[in-house]
Structures are given as structure tokens and as C-alpha cells.
Amino acid sequence: MSLFRNRRLRLIVVGLLSALFVLTLSFGCAGKQAAGPGSEKPKKGGNLTMGFDRETDTFDIYQMTWGSGQEYVYESLTTRDWDYKVVGSLAESWESTPDGKTWTFHLRKGTKWHDGTPFTSKDVKRYYEVMLDPKTAAANALDWTWIKSMDTPDDNTIVFHLDSPFPNLFGKTSNSYGSIMNPDAYAKYGPDGTKEYGTKIAIGTGPLKLKEWIPGDKVVFERNPDYRWGPLFVANKGPVWVDTVTFKTIPDAATRLAELETGNVQILANVPVEHYDRVAKIPNVEVFKEPAFGLGYLAFATDKKPFNDPKVRQAVNLAVDREALVKSVFFGLAQAAYGYLPPRTPEAYQDTAAIRYDVAAAKKLMTEAGYPNGFKATLATQNRTEHVRVAQAIQPMLEAIGIKTEIVQYDEAGYKDFLKAGKQELFMRQYEWDNADILQWFLYSRQVPYPGHSRWADRKTDELIDAAESAITPELRAQKYVELQKYLIEQSVWSPLWYPMAITAVRTDLVGGFKPFPGGGNVVIFDLWMKKNVK
């Protein structure tokens, strides 16, 4: 995002970004045209089930490293609309001082927590104070170090004082990790209380309440009947139409597809690319696709031999034929990646010369690194179908330069524990994020060992990230992030592989009011309704 040092500049930049996104978005839709919101009259009731290949790791925002569904339970100060423009959420309006170092957010009146207590500015202040307390050891604390101090002149006003202008302010306050939890509930049920917060208890201001979470199976949300403050870009501002929303965790792609065909799942996120044509032909199913904000990549434990040698990492980069990978694994429903950020981000940079496919050059680098005969290594991946197939496709490419790999698979929880324990050598990862600060999240020294799973602790990287995050204009921020990416590519910290496509399938005979959100990251719940109830 950009720096909005005063209201006029903010409006100009937001307008430009909105226009950019409108121009770059190209929603694809297979099958019959979906009925648009409002073409049929919504009705209250019913149980909506969505299918996903992985689930959230917690509903504790402080410790969340992979989220799914938290956007229904919690809200943030700002959010994004259909054009991906920043708009108000818990905050109705905001302004800054001319130096860009003091920001005042005016909170929406009448907002309540799920327990019925009023949402106030003091709650916001306490929430961030706990976030920034070193004792909390919040995984997301780095995102909020721009806060120097906070004032609460009244219950509906929060003032942030910053050390310096912060260009990514709205990027932070509008993303799902900017969600605000109830500090009283966290004190009661968090680490110092019953330790049930994030698994059994989650108190926010969102349109749905956490009802039940059975890890590895499903998460069930129920309607918040007191909700009356829906965002401006949706038609339904009051309680959502459906009684419950269930997130069904189905790692196996074929099983997810079968559940969609039978109607047990009515919305399927991350449609398996190998089944795209089949899904598009299912009666009463509409399929939406567009470039996602994401990157799939091969990472290294950069502090371990032989991957602490940049020549070895460079050799791996050169050994991978990304174009072939996109064709064989993704059937063309992805884009070969030659950079660290999705092309849709303003700070994106790709270098097809440095990350080219060149087996001879890769072998030469292996010899220079002292491994003319190669070596053995484990290639770890989560048990997601596409990731396993990518690992299987890469395996012979690496063997061509002498790197013999054993593929090991982990489930969601097991993979996180594996990476936290630092047992990885070569490993597959994918992020889904719309902001260049994802590089800070994964590659800033302070993030090691997790989420800094590449174990990359490098002073120059930190300096380049700091320069990018404190740049005072969007143009300078983009320039600094390009400098960072050139350095990361030179060091071959990752091996970027593919930019994914966001593909979502919807049973339009069962669900009304669906509209695809830019990037496919979220399913906006407010206007969805069930045409037929499915138990």
C-alpha cells in the first residue's frame, strides 16, 4: 500500500490504485453466468458449507500464521471493497497530521463484541498493547512496530502516534491479520487463563461467531444476530442470511470435487486445476478464475550445509524448468514465477535471466560449490495434492544436477511443527498475500525460526526491508522493494516456482448472491443465501 500523509494525497493514491486494480482485474467465468446479487430475493436460514484444502492454525490473531475464516469472526479498522480499494470497517473515517506521523481513526458507533459488550477505543488500545508486549511473543508483532504510542480521547476515537511516516498503514489495518480481538476475552481465555482462546473461544465483532472447531475436520460458524454494521460495499448490513457456515477441511482434491458434485459442499475454494474442465461441466456449477495474490516456491534451510552456499541455491534455481512445471502440474492454470511477489502487486519484480532454466550452468555451479557428484536431501511438502505433484515434478529436475531427494509429506499441523523445529532442508511453501510486506514476514531476521522458515538472518536484507517499509511515497516504496528482490534473487534465498490462479466453484442452484472477490482470497458472506437448505 501507499503512504497517505494527508487526506488529499490519500484520496489521489487510493483512486489511482483503484483504477489500476479495475484495469488489471479480469474475472474469468466458466459455465453458465451466475445469477448476480439481487436477481432473486434472498431468504433467511440454511447452512452453507465451503470446502478447503487446509484450515486455519488458530483463531488467536496474535499467533496466527495461516488464517481461514477469521475474517468472519473479527473485523479490522479498514477493509477492501470490490475494487480492492481501502474503505472503512471498524473505523468510519480517519485523518492524519501533515507530517504523516499521527493518525486519528473515528470508530463506528454502536458496534458490539460477540459477548454483547460495547466495542470501544480503549479495547483497540489494549489489543495492540498486548500485541506489542514481548511477553505475548506475538507472531504478528512485527507488523505493528510502527505504533509508538496510542491515545483514546473518547470511546470512539483512537489516535496512533508513529515514529515516522508509515507508507503501509492501510495495508496493515485492512488485512486479515489486522483483525482486532476482544482484550477482555483474551485475558480470560488466553495463555494466562483457560488457554481455550483461539481453539474453542474467539470473541470478535464480526458477522459470524465461532461455534465449533474439530481440527482436521471442520470449523462451524453461526450467525451473529446482533450484527448491524456491515461494510458499505455490501447490500446486507444486518445479520447474515444463513444460519451457519461450515468450513470443511478436505485435503484430498478428488474428495473435495465429489463433495461439490453431491452438493454437500456448495462453494469450493482452490478448485484443483487437474479437475477444472470437469468442474466447469457440472450442471448448476459456476467456476470463477483469475490471477491470485500468491506465490508457490521452493525454499532452503539457508543456515545448513549445503544450502548455506548461494551457489548451491543458485544451481537449484537453474535446474527447475518452470514453464514445464506450469504445463504438467497446473495445465496452464498458473504462471511461471521469476520473482518473489505476485505480478499484481505494485512492487513486483521478475528476473527471467537470473532464474532461467539452464542445466549446464546449474551443474557448473554445483562443481564450483564442491558437489560435482551431487548430494542427498529431503524435499518436504505439505500433503496438498498440487504441492505433492510439484515436488514429484521437481524431483527428476534436481536429480539431473545430482541432487537426489526423498519426498516427505506432512499434514497441516505436522508441517508447522516440522518447520518450527528447524528440521527442513529443501521444502515447498505457498503464500497468499497481497502486500510486499510478505517479504518482511518471511525474511526479516527477527522472524527466524518461524515464520522465518528459510532461517535467513541477513543484515543487508533487514536494511533493505527497513528502507522499503519506511519509504515515504508509493513510488519510492516500490523502488526499494525492487532493490530488495534483486538482492534476494542474487542470493537465491528462494526458488520461486509458480503464481497460482484463484479458482472458485459455486453451486448456483443452492447458493444465491455469490460475487467473486478480487484475488479470490475471501468469500464475502453478507449477501450469500441458501436457495435450498443442505444439512
What pLDDT shows up at residue 39?
Answer: 59
What pLDDT shows up at residue 45?
Answer: 95
Question: C-alpha grid cell for residue 265?
Answer: 459442499
What pLDDT shows up at residue 535?
Answer: 66
The whole-number average pLDDT for the span 500-518 is 94
Is the confidence at residue 26, as pLDDT, over 50? no
Q: How many residues does the chain have?
A: 535
What pLDDT shows up at residue 529?
Answer: 97
- CA angle, residues 176, 69, 181, in degrees to nearest 5: 55
pLDDT, tens only, 265-280: 999 988 988 899 999 9
Mean pLDDT of the chain: 90
Amino acid letter at 456?
A: W
Q: Is the pTM of this model over 0.85?
A: no
CA atoms of 445 and 452, how far apart (whole Å): 7
Question: C-alpha grid cell for residue 126?
Answer: 489494549
CA atoms of 240 and 111, how far apart (whole Å): 16
pLDDT, tens only, 471-492: 888 889 999 999 999 999 999 9
Is the confidence at residue 257, as pLDDT, over 80? yes
Contacts 24+ apart (CB under 8 A), 216-220: 216/55, 216/249, 216/411, 216/412, 216/413, 217/248, 217/249, 218/246, 218/247, 218/248, 218/249, 219/55, 219/56, 219/68, 219/69, 219/246, 219/247, 219/249, 220/244, 220/245, 220/246, 220/247
Q: Among 33-37, 170-174, 310-314, 523-527, where is mean pLDDT lowest?
A: 33-37
The more confident residue out of 330 and 24 is 330
What pLDDT shows up at residue 143?
Answer: 85
Share of the chain above pLDDT 70, in %: 92
The whole-number average pLDDT for the span 201-228 is 97
In the block, residue with C-alpha cell 452438493? 263
For residue 220, list its beta bridge partners: 212, 246
